[in-house]
């Protein structure tokens, strides 16, 4: 069975098949596809689904900082219609691909919507579950397909098949998987492979300590803390930096736990996720003044380390975050 949908704003056609979505832009882009390299169509495995792209995206829209920077690191800013993200998740003017930010358009600092991507005449949306895609908001790959717009789902956010639970592979493997897949989709696989090799080498060069400090990632929340389980990027950032994520036995990505479990596991270091209206300073003051944490080693010894949100989600900044945290943890084990 075949169905076809037409997006007036994007002038796209999309044919749904049992194996995924075939994206075929019309107009000038279709001419380019017909005359383009034999590289296309390409098929990648995205969250367990085979997705076929008939041509190189010409007007991609990305959501959030880490996702946007995956595309910028691949050097495909000229293939982007723009990006959607708030301005509180990390500096964007101090990174190697800051020129890429200047080459494309900041479409919105609010939540990504169908209206935004239609106005941008997008032919591909790169987002993730809890990173833009949401059934509650009606913004899903399926909804976009109905508008004739293709999609790619961030691998860190892939659902495991158990309800809304996310996580199908280790976080760094998710990073390398997305770089390789996007390299194929955008026709820049050589550049993707160089990035992957460089990141692997950077991570492998981090010295491992003889003793691994216990680390708790604190994102937000006072009644109950929001943190990282086994499948979110902080798990591997902490592990590769020489620590042990005290919530590493939680089979989920970003999730809520109880303060009792934090106290019981007695972290020696707390890593604060710095973003949002409540900045790292305010979060640190809360942790230090919260009575249940008074006896926790990290609070008692004032061992609190701060990373920006973009460092702690799947992004090309993750390897550098590992290096920075490793240096801090070496000081803890030496003390």
pLDDT for 140-161, tens place per residue? 999 999 999 999 999 999 987 7
Percent of the chain with pLDDT over 70: 86
Of the three residues 169, 201, 233, the one that is the final residue of a domain is 201
DSSP-derived pairing of the beta strands 60-63 and 304-308: unpaired
- Give yes or no: residues 83 and 189 share one domain: yes
- Give yes or no: residues 16 and 123 share one domain: yes
Query: Does residue 206 lie in a domain region?
Result: no
- Give yes or no: residues 247 and 181 share one domain: no
Dist CA 168 CA 200 (whole Å): 20
Q: Looking at the DSSP assignment, which residues form a beta bridge with residue 5?
A: 14
- Give yes or no: residues 131 and 258 share one domain: no
Token representation of residue 157: 């956010």
- Give yes or no: residues 174 and 77 share one domain: yes
Q: pLDDT at position 295, please?
A: 97
Kindly report the number of other CB atoms within 10 A of residue 31's CB atom.
11
- Give yes or no: residues 53 and 111 share one domain: yes
Q: Which domain, by its residues, includes 291? A: 214-334
Which letter, b or e, does each residue of 200-236 get, where b requires 16 or more Cβ atoms within 10 Å of its Cβ? eeebeebeeeeebbbbbbbbbeeeebebbbbbbbbbb
Under-70 pLDDT residues of the chain = 1-38, 88-91, 93-94, 335
């Amino acid at each position: 069975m075949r169905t076809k949908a037409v997006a007036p704003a994007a002038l796209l056609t999309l044919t749904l098949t049992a194996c995924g979505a075939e994206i075929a832009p019309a107009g000038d882009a279709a001419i380019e596809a017909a005359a383009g390299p034999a590289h296309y169509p390409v098929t990648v495995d995205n969250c367990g689904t085979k997705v076929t792209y008939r041509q190189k995206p010409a007007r991609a829209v990305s959501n959030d900082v880490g996702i946007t920077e995956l595309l910028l690191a691949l050097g495909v800013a000229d293939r982007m219609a723009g990006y959607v993200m708030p301005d509180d998740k990390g500096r964007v003017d101090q990174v190697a691909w800051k020129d890429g930010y200047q080459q494309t358009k900041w479409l919105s600092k609010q939540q990504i919507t169908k209206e935004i991507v239609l106005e941008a005449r997008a032919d591909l949306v790169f987002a993730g579950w809890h990173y833009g895609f949401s059934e509650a908001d009606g913004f899903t790959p399926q909804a976009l397909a109905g508008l004739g717009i293709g999609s790619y789902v961030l691998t860190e956010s892939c659902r495991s098949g158990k309800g809304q639970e996310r996580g199908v592979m280790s976080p760094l493997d998710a990073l390398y998987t997305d770089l390789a897949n996007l390299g194929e989709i955008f026709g820049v696989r050589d550049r993707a492979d160089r990035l992957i090799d460089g990141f692997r080498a950077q991570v492998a060069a981090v010295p491992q300590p003889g003793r691994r400090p216990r680390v708790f990632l604190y994102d937000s929340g006072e009644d109950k803390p929001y943190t990282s389980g086994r499948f979110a990027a902080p798990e591997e950032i902490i592990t590769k930096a020489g620590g042990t994520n005290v919530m590493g036995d939680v089979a989920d990505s970003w999730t809520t736990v109880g303060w009792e479990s934090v106290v019981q596991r007695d972290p020696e270091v707390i890593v604060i996720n710095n973003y949002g209206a409540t900045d790292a300073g305010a979060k640190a003051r809360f942790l230090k003044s919260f009575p249940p944490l008074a006896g926790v080693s990290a609070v008692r010894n004032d061992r609190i380390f701060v990373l920006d949100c973009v460092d702690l989600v799947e992004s090309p900044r993750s390897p550098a975050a590992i290096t920075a945290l490793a240096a801090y943890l070496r000081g803890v084990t030496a003390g």
